[in-house]
Amino acid sequence: MIYIDPPYNTGKDFIYKDRFDTSGRRHTNWLNMIFPRLLVAKNLLHPEGMIYISIDDNEVFNLVKVCEEIFGYDAIKVIVVKMSEASGLKMASVKKLGTIPKLKEYIIAIKPSGINGIEFTPIKKIKWDSAYNLYLDNFSREHRDFYDSIKDSKYLSDEQLKKLDEILSGVTLKPLTEVYKGAASKKNEWLFNNSWRICQCVKSSSVHKLSEEKRKNKKTSDVFSVKSAQGLVYLVRVTYSETSRNPRPQLIFASDHLFVHPGDFWSHIKTTGINNEGGVPFKNGKKPLKLVTELIGSLKPLNDGDIVLDFFAGSATTGEATMIVSKNKDVKLNYILVQLPESLEDACKLASADAKKQIKESMDYLNALGKPLSLTELGKQRMRISIEKYKTESQAGGFKVFKLVTA
């Protein structure tokens, strides 16, 4: 996988010379910078690999066109990422000038073989879905675990199905209004904690057909099970309406539907309080660690020896994110970080007042460590800290540093 966070062509980046508009050929010069790098990236990419590129409004439309030319239209998707709230000091200027605040950035997702085989982490819903309003009384956690262990089994035995029906014979369906009597302020928490035994009834013509005969013999219990020809097991409510044109016989658990796919609009990534992520002070343009971790972890499968490349490494967020994914998924990933050895001292001389303060904070940090004053050194120090933080017995960690020299 390749992840890059190139200069956005804003004129505000203090490391890269990204004020490409000074010559009057703003977009042309920026595209001349990014185009050859993406050509090289394509040649380096695994046939089933992915490229993720962070970008903002200044160049997103041009970047999409370039990526379409290099990789093809069907290889590209654009994800919108919410990066800030419409609040704080920025809104004072917005109200005064009548402008539109910037709240978002973009991620260009590229996969030459087609956008598939990607698995983003589902997002937990904040609000309870009121359609889930039936509580399974006398249904324990052990009962639910047993049901989960057999519901998708291709080799379901008659004994297992019999055991499930014995469990369900003692289950009673109750409306949630009869079950929860606590404080309203704590109801949402209670619902989520008990979501594994809270259901709703849904339409299913196939389950309806499967359940008709068996349902006639269920006079005392509220719930029973049916098995499809494919070996799938469904739970059925005994008392669904027979006269309805669209009966709702099938019971589905709330816990199976508490999480949703993030889609192509991400508002769940925290973008505040990240200035000191990684243990190093770097406040200009740093990407949230959670964002990069999510991108790296999205590829399926991840195998030992897979490489993550970032050729706009900055403060080495990608390196730390790779370590986190390696540890969480128990896989040995490698990373390659490429960064120009830009002098923080030179950058400070050219920076605005706000940026100058931020750069000096980074310089003071490196001075205290006796390190050269460059962005590269910040990244290397972050890697040292991260290795100590995430190392395991099987992955002691470490990195090599290679430098280009003038021939």
Q: What is the pLDDT of residues 360-384, one digit of tens each?
A: 888 999 999 999 999 899 999 999 9
Cα–Cα distances (Å) from 372 to 361, 378, 380, 387, in that order, read 14, 9, 11, 21
Tell me, yes or no, whether 345 lies in a domain.
Answer: yes
Tell me, yes or no, whether 397 lies in a domain.
Answer: no
Count CA within 13 A, CB hemisphere, residue 231.
9
Confidence of residue 137 (pLDDT cuts 50, 70, 90): very high
Tell me, yes or no, whether 399 lies in a domain.
Answer: no
Q: Which of 148, 149, 121 is nearest to 328 (CA)?
A: 121
Cα–Cα distances (Å) from 286 to 59, 162, 317, 330, 366, in that order, read 18, 57, 8, 27, 18
Report how far Cα 77 is from the mean position of its chain's Cα atoms.
15
Do 158 and 200 sit in the same domain of this protein?
Answer: yes
Task: Say if residues 333 and 326 touch (Cβ distance below 8 Å).
Answer: yes
Do 173 and 252 sit in the same domain of this protein?
Answer: yes
Do 82 and 146 sit in the same domain of this protein?
Answer: no
The tokens describing 73, both together, are: 């239209």
Instruction: Name which residue leads in pLDDT, 216 or 60.
Output: 60
Do 196 and 134 sit in the same domain of this protein?
Answer: yes
> DSSP letters of 104-152?
EEEEEEE-TT-S-SB-PPPEEPSS--TT--EEEET--HHHHHHHHHHTT
Tell me, yes or no, whether 401 lies in a domain.
Answer: no
Does the pLDDT value for residue 124 go beyond 60?
yes
Instruction: Name which residue leads in pLDDT, 406 or 380.
Output: 380
Residue with the two structure tokens 């890059």: 4
Q: What is the mean pLDDT of the chain?
A: 87
Could you check whether the bond before residue 47 is cis, i.e. omega within 30 degrees of 0? no
CATH number at residue 349: 3.40.50.150
Cβ neighbours around 238 below 10 Å, total: 18
pLDDT score at 243: 65
Instruction: Name which residue leads in pLDDT, 87 or 62.
Output: 62
Task: Say if residues 379 and 337 touch (Cβ distance below 8 Å).
Answer: yes
pLDDT score at 14: 41
Q: What is the pLDDT of residues 185-225, one digit of tens each?
A: 999 999 999 999 999 999 888 888 877 777 766 566 788 88
Do 118 and 266 sit in the same domain of this protein?
Answer: yes
Tell me, yes or no, whether 385 lies in a domain.
Answer: yes
Do 252 and 308 sit in the same domain of this protein?
Answer: no
Q: Given 259, 285, 319, which residue is the final one in a domain?
A: 259
Do 254 and 270 sit in the same domain of this protein?
Answer: no
Task: Quote the pTM value.
Answer: 0.80
State the total domains in the chain.
2
The tokens describing 207, both together, are: 């389950």
Tell me, yes or no, whether 83 lies in a domain.
Answer: yes
Q: Which of 309, 314, 355 is nearest to 336 (CA)?
A: 309
pLDDT score at 396: 66
Tell me, yes or no, whether 205 lies in a domain.
Answer: yes
Confidence of residue 29 (pLDDT cuts 50, 70, 90): confident
Do 164 and 40 sit in the same domain of this protein?
Answer: no
pLDDT score at 207: 85
pLDDT cut 90: percent of the chain above it: 52
Query: 267 by DSSP, 3-state: which?
Result: coil
Q: What is the pLDDT of residues 265-311, one digit of tens each?
A: 999 988 877 877 888 888 766 789 999 999 999 998 899 999 999 99
Do 322 and 216 sit in the same domain of this protein?
Answer: no
Does the pLDDT value for residue 385 go beyond 50?
yes
Do 132 and 196 sit in the same domain of this protein?
Answer: yes
Tell me, yes or no, whether 395 lies in a domain.
Answer: no
Instruction: Name which residue leads in pLDDT, 104 or 12.
Output: 104
Q: Give the pLDDT mean for 233-251.
A: 79
Does the pLDDT value for residue 120 go beyond 50?
yes
Cβ neighbours around 310 below 10 Å, total: 25
Do 136 and 217 sit in the same domain of this protein?
Answer: yes
User: In terms of residue numbers, what domain contains 186?
Assistant: 125-259
> DSSP letters of 148-178?
HHHTT-TT--HHHHHHHHHHHHT-EEEEHHH
